[in-house]
A and B are shown apart, each in its own frame.
Chain A
Amino acid sequence: MKHTYLAKLLFLLLFVCTGFTGAFAQTGAVSGRILDEKSQGVPGATVLIEGTTLGSSTNADGTYLIQNVPAGAQTLVSSFVGYNTKRQPITVTAGQTTTLGDLALAENTTLLSEAVVVGYGTQRRQDVTGSIATVSEKQFVQGQVTNPEQLIQGKVAGVQITPGGGAPGSASQIRIRGGSSLNANNDPLIVIDGVPVDNSENKGVSNPLTLVNPNDIETFTVLKDASATAIYGSRASNGVILITTKKGLSGEKLRVNFNSQASISKKTKTIDVLSTDEFRNVVNTYGTASQKALLGNSNTNWQEEIFRTATTFDNNLSLIGSVGPVPIRASVGNTVQQGILLTNKLNRNTGSISISPMLLDNHLRIDINAKGSWVDNTFADAAAIGNAARFDPTQSILSGDDTRFGGYFEWLNGDKTLNPNGTKNPIAQLNQKRDRSTAKRGIGNIQFDYKFHFLPELRANLNLGYDMLRSNGSTNVPAFAAIEFANKGANNIYSQKKDNKLLDFYLEYAKQFGESRVTVLGGYSYQDFIRDQPLDSYQASADGTVIKPAFPFKTQYTLVSFFGRLNYNFKDRYSLTATLRNDGSSRFIEGEQFGLFPAVGLAWRIKEEDFLKSSSLFSDLKLRVGYGVTGQQDIESIVGNYPFLGRYTYGENSASYQFGTAFQNTLRAEGYNQSLKWEETTTYNAGIDYGFLDNRITGTIDVYLRRSDDLLAKIAPAALTNLTNEFAYNIGSLENKGIEFSLITNAVRTSDLNLNLNFNATYNENEITDLGKSLPGFQGYAVGGIGGGVGNNIQVNSVGYPANSFYVQKQVYDANGRPIEGLYADLNGDGKSTIDDRYRYKSPAPKVTLGFGSNATYKKLDLAFTLRANLGNYVYNNINSQQAALTGISTNGFLQNLTPDFNNSNFRAYQLFSDYYIENASFLRMDNVTLGYNLRSAADSKPSIRITAAVQNIFTITKYSGLDPEISNGIDNNFYPRPRTFTVGLNLGF
């Protein structure tokens, strides 16, 4: 096995060595100036000699000079973000500077002909055969954006970004075209400046992307179909998001930019619960004498007490331009964000630097990127949110007895000891738990791009990357606090190290043969991931009892890939992309380690055909079809990194067993599966890119079918055949199919007023099509844990239904439309009411997602907004299901508040599995409105000044009765509410 790869490599090296025969051509120079529509110089525009990497960027006045251009006929390509790229044939004379004069670029909101970042390099958008969407800075969501992914929320068809809640830096669920896996990771691969980053669980960091400063980002490129993603085969089944950070440009004057924002955030609403009087009335009406005796005399609105108006300050300073000929960008940023939940806070410091020198007569381009961040988190216990909604409003916050529980009211047993079941005082829960972490992340890479002197068509690229994370944290609770009373307080510390290495090497050969252009790329990629939780983690009670874990935790996995790509373009009309990637993962046994992932995409630029070339209606029309296979191997979260290996793990001291008078530590045989192999996702995609009326209306339509086979599913093997009851097996299939539509229009374009509208819509259908053998009456695999009782699940994965469908009993209603307690339809008709009468009813995934945004500028004023809607997503109202039954007011010697739904249902006992609690959570949300005013544009000696005002989370229209309809897993419980945020900002450019 090894030898074939060695042979491949030798071949590559040979390929390199035999190339040393080229001759040096004679060269000249090209100069000129790039202007905008108003005939003003465009600084920072890119000018390139087509088919080469020779180029420059324009100076502050729009001028440029490109040296060492091979003599003869060339094409100069001028481009700038937001403008149509212009291609200008030129003739370069050896030893002379060809002056081209002024060249005007027309504004374009569609970026159609821009260079598009694809895996391992760039492509002209017109040549792209896959489904790729680009969002650049201009279209980013504005206001206070702490997490990078929120910059493109609602902006891209087929990309659903659902923040986990309103906590600063909370993780978002990102789904591209639904999830292609059942139990394996459904997150897309995120690549920052060529470094695929580790987005897996981090101790002390809720969202690893928080460690990247959104202000450093220039564009997001989303690769959606397999013909685009296959080059990242091993981790690309759920799409790829390429993040490109801002870079300096050669020859550009150094500019300084200072951006400062201040925000305040407020809760929009709280969970609707009974008022103090209503609650007292319910207890007095239905309660027993001992329950009535528990009532207090106060009137506390607990939810008002746990939230606050929070502030955020966000300051960023950047330097961009070039020092001599070397492009450079450096930035520092600081964000101090309070959460609206008491004590919750995030303090982030970031720094980044990128340097891109060109050496060896511009043949060697070196890109050095380094990004560092330091985040201090103060977490707040989100369980306090549910506890505040539940807490008896007749009790006061403080007990009056300062000697116990820090003076806070807590529920007591009859003998005045703490009632361990009682709802914990949420104010105490927040104030007495100090939960802090510090996380430092460094992402760096150095990329060498060498264009061979003797064969300029051949390019070698070596990318060495590093992604490291150091985090540590502690949780301290004093011994007197009720939340850790049984443990005599808590004093836990933990730390984690992550070291992820990347090596990519590829050779690319690009050449024009007559009307054909061929690009061939072959490469190798090595990635290694180590996660280490050293032994210094321990738990200690505040009284000094120290419990150290007996064994540290450390895990590693490695991916090795060989890949090749062929791009063929004929007459600028017909494009073909063929990709082949051979991926190896250390997570599988030798023999199953490698998977082969092919993809092919075809594009036809119909616009270039004679019959459409002169059409004034169509300014662009392209048909794309693609097919490809990608792999999935990310099953660490369900079975770890060594799932094929029989292993024995050590038991902690707290889980040892008494033999005689001593306690014997244990060794446990772990489950394993030697036949595990790659899950494969096959994607079919067909799309049209269109442009009308000089590209004032552009957009795409895509239809796709994604089928995942050999799903890495966590299922129950036959009893006795494994050393656990559930493990990962390659079993079953899952399908996502859908349609995406996007439209961008430059609706109004006058000298004073410019109005751009963008709209996107996605329809996605998810269905599990196979889960291996099935039998009548087999429910499938329960998922979706809920609050209320212990270990209860509300969702199920079963064949013929969407993943995570709700699995509930069909409620029977009376003549007045009220649910009849405990009465459910006998759906299987056996005359009995049993668990088997449940049915699959709806799922949390929206059928349709819509995004609508606008950017308008009027003279110096600009206004942008984003609206988003999800249709057909359902939520299990877990707040009502555990808080609207009479039994909830008192079970074990304490009282709990109810929600007003009790007045409708009148349930005495919990009816956790009633479909009564499944609600349509379709919504329309106005995410963001930003108003900006350019007080002064950049002039030579004076700084530019721009001020902005933004409001986020302005309104939500929904029928959902709970706090927020947008909940990624569809289970509404302890949800940290998204605040409404008001931001003012100042931007200075020097």
Chain B
Amino acid sequence: MKKTFVRRFATLAVAGSLLGAATTSCVGDLDRDPFNEVTSDVVYSDPANYKPILAKLYAGLALSGQTGPSGKPDLSGVDEGFSNYIRQYWSIQELPTDEAVIAWGDDGLQDYHLMNWTANNPFIRSMYNRIFYQIAACNEYIRETKDDKLSSRNITGANLENIKKYRAEARFLRALSYYHALDLFGKSPFADENDQIGAFTPRQISRADLFAYVESELKAIETELVGARQNEYARVDQAAAWMLLAKLYLNAEVYTGTPRYTDAVTYSSKVIGAGYALQTTATAKSSAYGRNFLADNNTSPEIIFPVAFDGISTKGYGGTTFIIHASVGGDMPAAAFGVDGGWGGTRTTRALFNLFPDTAADRRGRFFTKGQKLEIDNLTEFKDGLGVVKFKNVKSDGAVGKDLVFPDTDFPMFRLADAYLMYAEAVLRGGTGGTTTQALSYVNALRNRAFVGNGGDITASQLTLDFILDERGRELHWEGHRRTDLIRFKKFTTAAYIWPWKGGVKEGRSVSENLNVFPIPSTDLVANPNLTQNTGY
């Protein structure tokens, strides 16, 4: 009896003490650390991590998440493929214009043509979310790469020099996205690296103030960035900053009411003088112009800032995957575009086609007509409207890209031809520091390349502002510039220029001027009480 009692007691005591040990350690177990992820407080202690994080900022333009082509998306509440930066940017810049129509009925997409978008439009919301996601990610990186933080982590020497360059690039990418915000939405919520992630409420700044901020940022990093054409491919350099400044100044009158054409001349000249050259070598399979939009356009000497894609390593359903697949449909041979099949989405209107008086002579005007109608009776019918033959997943020698679904073709965000036309326009608009003779020679350089022989050259008297707008359409169509251009020429909403289906009617009509900027999405108006809506929405 006694023995069993002792044994019981011992058992109980052991059980009790085990339990005690378990309990205390267990409350501590509530502090769990993730596996296979790095916490923010340690990721920056290793200099080797700075480049991968910078790569994510660039990838913010090209990819939709951490797994290609889809998976672990950056943004939620939207189809991952739709959430891609370039896809959204292309759509919002091209679909409301004369350059492109799309057949799909995805929620809110046709609103771009009908020009009846509201603050609840999912596509506008996705663009907005992508822009400010990108800015927030840049802010985080710029905050963590401040000089004092770097020195507190004992980062010195070559590491320090490299990281400072990365930081300047992050500031460029942030400026680019703020530029998109100011161009698309006008006023904007604002935060920079001094605002910590968490429960602060960003203030709203005016379009003019944001203009001043983007300008000051770009000027600040002008010297910190790697010299023009000196950086690794697909990373930005000083020329990218100049180009963005030139764009900012060219549109300054729209953004702030104050023209800055002289500055536009100055900065487009800097770009032009940086050593880029037009791609002028044609191949048996492609015109010289066309090579800028092919799977090997990374070799083009005129691309200043590409958003890079790759069939194996940079895969997604946005970017050039979207641009190329969506443009193929009907009787168009998918194989000729280097893809396994089209998505039957995007075509163009009669207005773009009519910019080319002679599509046989001007190599830039390549349209697919077989089975396609010039007139669009039905926006959602792919065969209404002409196909645009421009972006392809085929190399200059005719070989297809690495993958038939995900093109290798890079998206030319900035290229020299645009700088030529900006220079010419800024000069024509009264900017000083340039000459019309120089402007004419730049325009004719483009036309010379485009036309068989010298048939395309224009005279000084032909070089008018209206000609510039049309020439931008011919040279830069489907590259994401059109909406900004039409607004600068006061033709986006007004009766000065009507194209098929402008404003949602077949023959086209003028629309309210307030549509020159998009509405602030209602989700952010709700989340941020500091925001007020744009006029007219």
Contact = CB atoms under 8 A, between A and B. Distances in A.
Interface of A: 1-2, 5-6, 9-10, 13, 16, 20, 288, 290, 360, 413-415, 417-421, 450, 453, 462, 485-486, 503, 505, 524, 526, 528, 549, 551-558, 560, 584-586, 590, 593, 641-642, 645-661, 663-670, 672, 674-675, 714-726, 772-775, 777-779, 781-782, 788-793, 832-836, 887, 891-893, 908-910, 912-913
A104 to B, nearest CB: 40
B515 interface: no
B74 interface: yes
B24 A892 contact: no
Interface of B: 4, 8-9, 12, 15-16, 19-20, 22-24, 26-41, 43, 49, 51-53, 55-56, 58-59, 62-63, 65-69, 71-72, 74-79, 81-82, 103-108, 111, 116-122, 128-129, 132-133, 135-137, 139-141, 189-191, 195, 197-202, 232-235, 298, 308, 310, 312-316, 329-331, 333-335, 340-344, 371, 378, 380-383, 404-405, 522-529
Contact of A792 (B106, B315, B524): B106
Contacts, number: 363
B522 A779 contact: yes
B201 A650 contact: no
Contact of A655 (B29, B63, B523): B63
B526 A772 contact: yes
User: What 3 pairs across the A-B complex have the smallest Cβ distances?
Assistant: A791-B79, A654-B68, A646-B40
Contact of A790 (B55, B106, B382): B106
18 contacts: A486-B340, A641-B32, A655-B68, A657-B58, A660-B232, A664-B51, A665-B52, A667-B52, A669-B140, A726-B75, A773-B526, A775-B522, A790-B81, A791-B79, A791-B81, A833-B116, A892-B344, A909-B378
Contacts of B235: 659-660
Contacts of B122: 782, 791
A819 B74 CA distance: 40
A779 B120 contact: yes
Contacts of B330: 893
Contacts of A725: 75-77, 129, 132-133
Contacts of B405: 420, 486
A586 B26 CA distance: 11
Nearest to A718: B528
B346 to A, nearest CB: 13
A593 B15 CA distance: 28
A792 B40 contact: no
A466 to B, nearest CB: 15
B30 A782 contact: no
Contact of B107 (A552, A834, A836, A912): A912
A836 B136 CA distance: 29
Contacts of B108: 835
Contacts of B139: 720
B107 A781 contact: no
A669 B36 contact: no
B75 A724 contact: yes
A887 B381 contact: yes
Nearest to A772: B526
B8 A360 contact: yes
A726 B24 CA distance: 36
B37 A648 contact: yes
B341 A13 contact: no
Contacts of A723: 133, 136-137, 140, 197
Contact of A668 (B56, B313, B314, B333): B56
A30 B368 CA distance: 98
A666 B56 contact: yes
Nearest to B308: A658
A362 B201 CA distance: 65
Given A9-B20, A716-B524, A720-B195, A649 B107 contact: no
A719 B520 CA distance: 11
Contacts of A659: 51, 55, 58, 232-235
B11 to A, nearest CB: 9
A834 B112 CA distance: 12
A645 B26 contact: no
B527 A586 contact: no
Contacts of A718: 189, 201-202, 524, 527-528
Contacts of B314: 654-658, 663
B441 to A, nearest CB: 33
Nearest to A674: B198
B59 A892 contact: no
B391 to A, nearest CB: 18
B8 A835 contact: no
A492 to B, nearest CB: 13
Contacts of A664: 51-52, 55
Contacts of B49: 648, 667
Contacts of A593: 30
A557 B30 CA distance: 8
Contacts of B74: 668, 724
A834 B32 contact: no
A431 B117 CA distance: 45
Contacts of B382: 891-892
Given A290-B371, A657-B314, A721 B200 contact: yes
A674 B116 CA distance: 39
Nearest to B332: A414
Given A663-B314, A715-B527, A789-B104, A5 B195 contact: no
Residue with the highest number of chain B CB atoms closer than 10 Å, among A418, A585, A659, A715: A659
A792 to B, nearest CB: 5
Nearest to A714: B76
Contact of A719 (B198, B312, B527): B527
Contacts of B133: 723-725
B74 to A, nearest CB: 7
